[in-house]
Amino acid sequence: MLFDIDHFKKINYTYGHDVCDDVLKSLSLLIKNTIRTNDLFCRIGGEEFAVITPHTDLIGAIDLAEKIRLIVQNNLFETVGHLSISMGVVQYEHCQKKETLYKNADNALYKAKKQGRNRVISE
């Protein structure tokens, strides 16, 4: 799954880089405490992140994505208050190239943003 923080640039312009760094650290801790120990969580760049959930089917990944989305939505972040994230979830297909997997997840993330943000979209 790929996700990013909705309207993060506005937060950056309003509060500055130091506050944004604190938001990213707090968000990362929330995610780390939500996923399983065998899941892989990483920052792609800026405010975009990935969670890789081995041995999880698409329904399980969607359930986890929704759980993450709600935890972020309900968390009160210091200085900036409540945030939301948009998420794209896909399942690895046998022999699929990593570039195709990433592109599919990115397309799902884009659809989540286009459909109003603060949602999980799967493909």
pLDDT in tens, 66-115: 999 999 999 999 999 999 999 999 999 889 999 999 999 999 999 999 99
Three-class SS state of 82? coil
SS3 (DSSP) at 58: helix
Residue 45 burial (C-beta neighbours within 10 Å; 0-12, 13-18, 19+): exposed
State mean pLDDT over 27-44: 96
CA distances 15 to 18, 19, 26, 30, 102, Å, are 8, 6, 15, 21, 31
How far, in Å, CA of 41 to CA of 38, rounded?
10
pLDDT for the residue 6: 98
Catalytic residues: 47
Local confidence band at 29 (pLDDT 50, 70, 90 cut-offs): very high
- Quote the pLDDT of residue 54: 94
**Sequence-ordered list of residues with C-beta below 8 angstroms from that of 71, at least 6 positions apart, any chain:** 30, 34
Is the pLDDT assigned to residue 17 strictly greater than 90?
yes
Backbone angles phi, psi at 32, to 5 degrees: -55, -40
Q: How many Cβ atoms are within 10 Å of 59's Cβ, its own excluded? A: 11
**Dihedral over alpha carbons 24, 80, 53, 98 (to 10 degrees):** -60
Q: Among 36-40, 62-66, 92-96, whose mean pLDDT is lowest?
A: 92-96
Q: What is the mean pLDDT of residues 3-17?
A: 96
pLDDT of residue 107: 97
Q: Is the pLDDT of residue 123 over 90?
A: no
